[in-house]
């Protein structure tokens, strides 16, 4: 391998990248636009749940229960209704997600220390959100029920009744339970995978369409030198995108960064190598930019978004899909990013993921070189 030929290929491709100002601006601004769009729009936080109250009891005891919901940040009481038809109409029009129905004999049952049921009606169209809302509602009712039982025991026995179990929860790594702290690091991996593979997937196919590949064939340039030269030019763009994405995540979304900067830089570079080589492999396997773009989008965007675990937990997927995710490089980079950003863990924990990314980059480089050699032969 000749350093002069490699450098010449790198400079040639870098000039091509910088000469097209609109494409370069798009490549640099796309990560910011996607981060801002997804970071602000994609929220897994379930709070301020729009709620209606149907109070059939209309007593001080029922109003006390309603105040428990009003005092919780998870519920937004939108109003009070007097029949089930109003509740159904509001749910059908998607004006509310939940309704609390207090039966007529609620206060009597509470006063007699009997079981006092409360009805919770939920819009199950979004099953995940409905399940979370139901959990919040059950917690409010259970805490209030425990408070009532403790008061009753105090009145009857004159002793302070302590709860049977004192649960003290401590949340590690994301103590505020904000979904942006979970989504943004994973989103960086998805964006880089898409941008890197799309940038390089068109490079060799464009050479064939523009008729400049024949000029390259007349030079002593080797396939490995062509692959590395083209990759390094787009690596500069990808590294710039990575820096912008990390800065936006830390300073705009205030995602905590607790890990090692050198580990983040090394893992990002290794991941970019694999993603860029994959794009070049696709470009070498096809001779049209349209086909290369479509294949690149299909093999980078969908797996990175759906199978990397950046939003949807891999453990909850079917076993067969979990096996497939092991071949998705974005999965391992998402794990590294979350470990570096949120947990502050180092290479002693993340060496397996980093090793897979290095192995993936080496394999794809060999495949791209071999495919390009076949095309040139």
* Residue 274 · residue 361 · CB < 8 Å: yes
Contacts of 266 (CB under 8 A, 6+ apart): 354
Query: Which among 50, 139, 165 is positioned nearest to 96, based on CA atoms?
Result: 50
Same domain, residue pair 19 and 151: no
Rounded Cα distance, 154 and 126, in Å? 42
pLDDT tops 80 at residue 187: yes
Query: What average pLDDT is seen over the chain?
Result: 83
- For residue 219, tell me if it sits in a domain: yes
Alpha carbons within 13 angstroms on the beta-carbon side of residue 247 total: 8
| Tokens (6 digits) for 229 | 């030269």
Task: Using DSSP, state whether 157 is helix, strand or coil.
Answer: helix
- Write down the pLDDT at residue 157: 59
Rounded mean pLDDT of 98-102? 91
pLDDT tops 90 at residue 296: no
Same domain, residue pair 144 and 217: no
Burial (Cβ within 10 Å: 0-12, 13-18, ≥19) of residue 16 = middle
- For residue 166, tell me if it sits in a domain: no
Q: SS3 sequence, 218-233?
A: CCCCCHHHHHHHHHHH
pLDDT tops 80 at residue 249: yes
- Write down the pLDDT at residue 217: 64
Our CA angle for 247, 253, 254, nearest 5°, is 80
- For residue 228, tell me if it sits in a domain: yes
- For residue 165, tell me if it sits in a domain: no
pLDDT over 90 percentage in the chain: 19
Of residues 177 and 33, which shows the higher confidence score? Answer: 33
pLDDT tops 90 at residue 360: yes
- Write down the pLDDT at residue 112: 75
Binning pLDDT at 50, 70 and 90, where does residue 44 land?
low
Kindly state the DSSP code that residue 311 receives in the 8-state scheme: S
- Write down the pLDDT at residue 53: 93
How confident is the model over 106-159, as pLDDT tens digits? 888 877 777 888 899 998 887 778 888 888 888 888 888 877 777 766 666 555
Contacts of 207 (CB under 8 A, 6+ apart): 213, 216
User: Positive or negative, the Cα torsion across 123, 126, 128, 133?
Assistant: negative
Bridge partners for 51 per DSSP: 77, 98
Range of the structural domain that residue 268 is part of: 3-43+178-376
- Write down the pLDDT at residue 376: 57
- Write down the pLDDT at residue 293: 81
- Write down the pLDDT at residue 355: 95
Least confident of 207-211, 213-217, 304-308: 213-217
pLDDT tops 80 at residue 307: yes
- Write down the pLDDT at residue 353: 93
- The CATH number that applies at residue 59 is 3.40.1710.10
* Residue 142 · residue 8 · CB < 8 Å: no
Same domain, residue pair 108 and 192: no
Same domain, residue pair 260 and 213: yes
Same domain, residue pair 183 and 292: yes
Chain Cα centroid distance, residue 189? 9
Of residues 41 and 165, which shows the higher confidence score? Answer: 41
How confident is the model over 259-289, as pLDDT tens digits? 899 999 999 999 999 998 998 888 888 877 7
Q: Where are the alpha helices (DSSP H) in the chain?
A: 3-19, 21-41, 60-70, 84-92, 106-111, 127-157, 179-201, 203-210, 213-217, 223-247, 261-285, 289-296, 302-306, 319-325, 329-338, 347-376
Binning pLDDT at 50, 70 and 90, where does residue 48 land?
confident
Same domain, residue pair 56 and 36: no
Task: Using DSSP, state whether 270 is helix, strand or coil.
Answer: helix
How confident is the model over 220-246, as pLDDT tens digits? 778 788 888 888 888 888 888 889 889
Kindly state the DSSP code that residue 250 receives in the 8-state scheme: I
Rounded mean pLDDT of 359-371? 91
Number of domains composing the chain: 2
Same domain, residue pair 38 and 53: no
Find the distance separating the first CA and the last CA of the chain, reported in whole Å: 18
Same domain, residue pair 27 and 107: no
Same domain, residue pair 205 and 350: yes
């Amino acid at each position: 391998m000749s350093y002069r030929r490699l450098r010449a290929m790198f400079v040639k491709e870098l000039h091509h990248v910088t000469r097209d100002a609109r494409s370069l601006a798009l490549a640099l601004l796309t990560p910011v636009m996607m981060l801002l769009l997804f970071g602000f729009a994609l929220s897994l936080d379930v709070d301020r749940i729009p709620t209606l109250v149907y109070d059939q009891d209309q007593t001080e005891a029922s109003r006390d229960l309603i105040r428990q919901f009003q005092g919780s940040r998870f519920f937004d009481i939108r109003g009070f209704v007097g029949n089930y038809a109003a509740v159904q109409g509001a749910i059908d029009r998607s004006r509310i997600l939940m309704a609390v129905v207090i039966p007529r004999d609620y206060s009597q049952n509470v006063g007699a220390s009997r079981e006092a049921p409360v009805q919770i009606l939920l819009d199950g169209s979004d099953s995940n959100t409905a399940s979370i809302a139901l959990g919040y509602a059950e917690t409010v009712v259970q805490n209030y029920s425990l408070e009532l039982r403790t008061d009753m025991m105090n009145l009857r026995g004159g002793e302070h009744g302590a709860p049977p179990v004192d649960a003290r929860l401590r949340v590690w790594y994301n103590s505020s339970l904000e979904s942006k702290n979970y989504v943004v690091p994973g989103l960086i991996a998805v964006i880089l995978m898409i941008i890197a593979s799309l940038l390089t997937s068109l490079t060799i196919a464009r050479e064939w369409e523009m008729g400049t590949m024949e000029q390259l064939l007349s030079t002593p340039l080797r396939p490995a030198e062509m692959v590395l030269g083209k990759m390094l030019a787009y690596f500069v763009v990808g590294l710039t995108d990575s820096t912008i994405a990390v800065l936006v995540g830390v300073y705009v979304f205030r995602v905590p960064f607790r890990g090692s900067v050198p580990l983040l830089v090394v893992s990002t570079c290794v991941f970019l190598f694999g993603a860029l080589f994959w794009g070049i492999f696709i470009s070498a396997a096809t001779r049209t930019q349209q086909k290369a773009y479509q294949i690149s989008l299909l093999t980078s965007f969908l797996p990175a978004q759906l199978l990397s675990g950046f939003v949807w937990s891999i453990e909850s997927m079917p076993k067969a899909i979990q096996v497939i995710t092991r071949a998705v490089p974005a999965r391992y980079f998402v794990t590294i990013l979350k470990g570096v950003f949120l947990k502050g863990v180092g290479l002693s924990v993340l060496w397996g993921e980093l090793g897979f990314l290095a192995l993936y980059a080496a394999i794809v480089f060999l495949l791209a070189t071999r495919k390009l050699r076949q095309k040139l032969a």
